[in-house]
Structure formats: C-alpha cells, structure tokens
Amino acid sequence: MLYPVTLDVPPEGPRRRAPYRSALALVLLGAIAPVAHGFRRDELLCEAAVARVEQCDASFSASAVNCTYEPASCSRDSRFPDIPSSRAEEIAAMTCAEIERGEIVAEVLELARDADEYQGDWGEP
C-alpha cells in the first residue's frame, strides 16, 4: 500500500529580513538625521547629559538647562549649550550611582546659572 507524501513547504510570503539590517538602517538614519536638521554636536551631547541626569534623579528639571545653540545677532553674543561638550560626554556616560555620588545635579545647575550670567562663547566649535 502506498501512502501519500506531503511536503511541509512554508506558504509564500514576504521574506524575513535579518534583524541587523533594521538596526543598521536605524543607526544610519540616526547619524544622518541630525545633520539634515541642523542639530549641532554640542546640542546633542548636552541633551544626552541632561537626559541621563533626569533619568537618575527624578527631582531634576531638564528645563533648567539650555541645550540649544543660538548664533550671534546684532543685539547679543552667540549662546552655546550650558554644558560644554567634553563634560556633557562624561556625564552622559556615567552610571546613576556616579551621578548621585558625584553631585552632578548641582554641577549641571551651576553650569546653567553661570551660562545665564555669561552668555558668551564657551569656545565650542
């Protein structure tokens, strides 16, 4: 007696892409998007540092810190982000324990206060 042979063939449909392709596309888009929208590196680093501090300390208010660059005009000097790039990179890479132990919140607020008083060039690119 012969038995019918069946093959388990998956139905035709969209091919599954490797997950790394999607991740690679997001990374490339993330790298290109800031340039296309005119964001500056110092602005992005400042935002990352502020977000990290806010993540670690719920009482911290991100609105206390300015992370935008404003070019000079006839009536005022250029305004750079309150946290200089080199320090912003360090803060963004810190753990919450380091932020709490190192009194980073107070330092960030002091940088913001100093920038409000000075409103000049931090020497940023």
Which pLDDT score, from 0 to 100, does residue 43 have?
94
Q: What is the pLDDT of residues 24-53, one digit of tens each?
A: 555 555 555 555 557 899 999 999 999 999
Confidence band, pLDDT 50/70/90 cuts, at residue 23: low
Q: What is the 3-state secondary structure (H, E, C) of the chain?
A: CCCCCCCCCCCCCCCCCCHHHHHHHHHHHHHHHHHHHCCCHHHHHHHHHHHHHHHHCCCCCHHHCCCCCECCECCECCECCCCCHHHHHHHHCCCHHHHHHCCHHHHHHHHHHHHHHHCCCCCCC
Q: What is the pLDDT of residues 100-114, one digit of tens each?
A: 887 899 999 999 888
Q: Would you say the pTM of this structure is higher than 0.75? A: no
Which pLDDT score, from 0 to 100, does residue 8 have?
59
Rounded mean pLDDT, 83-87: 94
